[in-house]
Amino acid sequence: PHGATTTAVDAASAMGCGVSTASHAPMRQLVLLGGGECGKTTIFKQIQILYGTGFEQTSMDWIYAIHRAPARAVKVVLQAVKNRSEEYSLSEANAEAAERCLDQHQSAMSLTQEAAEDMTAIWNDPAVQALLTKDATLDLDDNAKYFMNKLQQLAKPSYRPSTEDILNVRDPTRTIETLDFQYHKAKFRVIDVGGQRMERPKWNLTGDITAVIFVCALTEYNQVLREDVKQNRLKESLNLFDIACNRRYPDKPIILFLNKADLFRQKIEQTDLSVCFPNYKGGCNYDPALAYIKQKFLNIRKDKGKEIYMYETTATDSSNMEKIIVAMMDIVQKQNLEQSGFN
């Protein structure tokens, strides 16, 4: 879609690794799986920053997606204000700004200074701030506050997306994207496959896999799918994990990223996990809630001896992800050696 497409980048040369002495060795393929909006593509971007060519050359390709983020956030809050008009109403001064935001600013190809001012005024309106504080069910993207706080900067003609902006922008995967790179002397390919339901038939096109990286957003426990409002997102993730772990890749190592740990820590203080799992009795506390979710995933394994490597992740946090990705690569290396009889 934008700068994320890195089909078969030979990152070895970009990293100055030169020619691999393991060039005859088979490529180790890691597949990224999970539901829509779980953060898979952000993890793919982090691997691209660590081992690929990063985004220096392609940062301007992301401008449109970044400019759409605040426009989408304002549209969501204005719709919510309209749906709850008995409780909330915008100040008179912002009513006209709201009309512009729902009309010309939504269809604009880029973010103008006027649009940024209108959106800022609406976001700061007392009714919108009250709504943001009280309503846990608002369908805002996780990055909404991040981009709303940068609106004035985003609207400047001189604006260039930073790596952090690119990591935070949501850009659904609609194709199979691959990234080739070298880690120590081994060659790797990471495959990112779309998580929305209509993208999942592509899960069968991933070929021979060395290991599965399954991503679940911890924050999903009180959210529903965009494509099926009757289905809870965390329960959908557990169903997908069953397919990946027991049916699609029963003999492959599985690395489970429990993502958006930072947002989960905030959310669990306000919204009890029992909204998703009535048998959960740990209250609004991070550690018991996390342990309960981990156990839910472990219970799905048909082969109880199968090890699941679990990590709590914040995919947008580069220092957190660098340590975890390095640990993950070492697990894959070790597993590969054991399967080859070199343990």
Write out the catalytic residue numbers. Answer: 37, 42, 170, 192, 196
d(CA 63, CA 66): 5
